[in-house]
Amino acid sequence: MTTFVDRVELHVAAGSGGHGCASVHREKFKPLGGPDGGNGGRGGDVILVVDQSVTTLLDYHHSPHRKATNGAPGAGDNRSGKDGQDLILPVPDGTVILDKDGNTLADLVGQGTTYVASQGGRGGLGNAALASARRKAPGFALLGEPGQGGDVVLELKTVADVALVGYPSAGKSSLISVLSAAKPKIADYPFTTLVPNLGVVTAGSTVYTIADVPGLIPGASQGKGLGLEFLRHVERCSVLVHVLDTATLESDRDPVSDLDIIEAELREYGAGLENRPRVVVLNKIDVPDGQDLADLVRPDLEARGYRVFEVSAIAHKGLKELSFALAEVVGAARAAKPKEEATRVVIRPKAVDDTGFTVKLGDDDIYRVRGEKPERWVRQTDFSNDEAVGYLADRLNRLGVEEALMKAGARSGDGVAIGPEENAVVFDWEPSVMAGAEMLGRRGEDHRLEEPRPASQRRRDRDTERDDAEKAYDDFEPF
């Protein structure tokens, strides 16, 4: 059974905002006391939060679909709907958030670090909030916005100072078990380690973490064995420790060739691993032949510039020297690391000529309006209510959309689309629909929209002309 998962695809959906309420206050001897419809509640967000007590993404492997709750609709008597509850998803320290195309959205390192993966929709305003001196009793309310949704990929990259790399059965698990309190699985067959193991080491006043990842073999960077699946767990380390087996039973292997092969795989994988400090550990010197081989290859390795340590995890030889040497390298790496500054709040005011929307003529001869406000207003409009549609026209006019359409060359009856191409609201533009709340009729109606639309009238005229022509052809009698 799978107990460790370090990469999952998560399908998240935030809560939708509650609809606003269109209501009129009524009481004895006062049947029309004014609008009292409340606002809808905000939809809940989906938030990823680093929790250092979580070490795997297993829960999301079994349950990849997560959704926050919706906001409640508003009600009469000025009662606003309840906000949706945020969905908090704990993730391990070192989780990287990617989109479907592999682009990094966030790198979550440190207890409590958060990322809003999906934002809840705004609640719609009730008619009490929409009332004004010109529109005293609105017969409509705004709809709640749908919550954002989508897919994100979570990748776990272990946060460790030291990473042990080497062939399977080189003794990495035994080494981490004696250097720290970690208790990995240890056996005398290859690929005993199937998941990364973390341990905490104390050397003098320095405390650092050490990671043991599954063994690498030739071709690991291309996906052979378990290497490619777990190489991401050594990306954050400050120092790489090559654990070389000096007592291997395979005749075609020796510590130097093992080192060359692992180094080639690290260079092939990239991610900056080729530039990390290296330490070489010649393990299993408790075996007589192992000590002889270590004495033979040590001068060659030191000639290459490596710091070499001879150890035996079983006999506990050379461990103290190795532990303090790693502490020294980790300390130097931490000192060289730039100090993190407090996050500065950067305020970027909008340009003076920034209208907040754009108008462009598409290849299909439809004028497309894009912008946060127009698109949000369209999503909040109840198109079954004429007064709500008239209110949308007033808002767009005040924003300057109508003027921008005129400058772009739009004429009465031309097609206008507001929103993304795959989910846009398309209508025939009529510039005569001007702002004017004083022109409204009964609640829920807007007589400006009762006049025939120019494009619709032209279509009806063309249909009539075609029908007349077909009838004339049928009635035609040749001589």
Report CA-CA distances (Å) from 69 to 86, 115, 151.
Answer: 7, 18, 18
d(CA 6, CA 95): 9
Q: Is 362 helix (H, G, I), strand (E, B) or coil?
A: coil
How far is the C-alpha of 173 from the C-alpha of 212, rounded, in Å?
6
Bridge partner residues of 147 (DSSP): none
Q: What Å distances lie between residue 478 and 209, 231, 246, 316, 471, CA to CA?
A: 100, 87, 107, 114, 15
Give the pLDDT of the chain (479 residues) as one tens digit per residue: 445 677 899 999 999 999 999 999 888 877 777 899 999 999 999 999 999 888 788 889 889 999 999 999 999 999 999 999 999 999 988 888 999 888 889 888 888 889 999 999 999 999 999 998 888 889 899 999 999 999 999 988 877 888 888 887 777 878 888 887 655 444 443 444 446 777 788 888 888 888 887 756 555 445 454 455 567 777 788 888 888 888 776 666 788 888 888 888 788 877 777 778 888 988 888 887 888 888 888 999 899 888 999 888 888 888 889 889 989 888 888 888 777 665 576 777 777 667 788 999 888 889 999 999 999 999 999 988 889 988 998 899 888 898 899 888 888 888 899 988 888 888 888 875 444 444 555 555 655 555 555 555 666 777 777 777 776 656 655 54
Smallest Cα–Cα separation from 432: which of 459, 405, 464, 399?
405
Instruction: Copy the structure tokens of residue 151.
Output: 């897919």
Q: What is the pLDDT of residue 15?
A: 96
pLDDT at 177: 83
**Rounded CA separation 324/310 (Å):** 14
pLDDT of residue 221: 46
Residue type present at position 13: A
Q: Counting Cβ atoms within 10 Å, is residue 219 exposed (0-12), middle (13-18) or buried (19+)?
A: middle
How far, in whole angstroms, is CA 471 from its chain's centroid? 62
Q: Are 66 and 11 in contact (CB under 8 A)?
A: yes
pLDDT at 9: 92
CB 312, CB 283: distance < 8 Å = yes
CA distance 438 to 420: 33
What is the value of pTM for the model shown?
A: 0.73
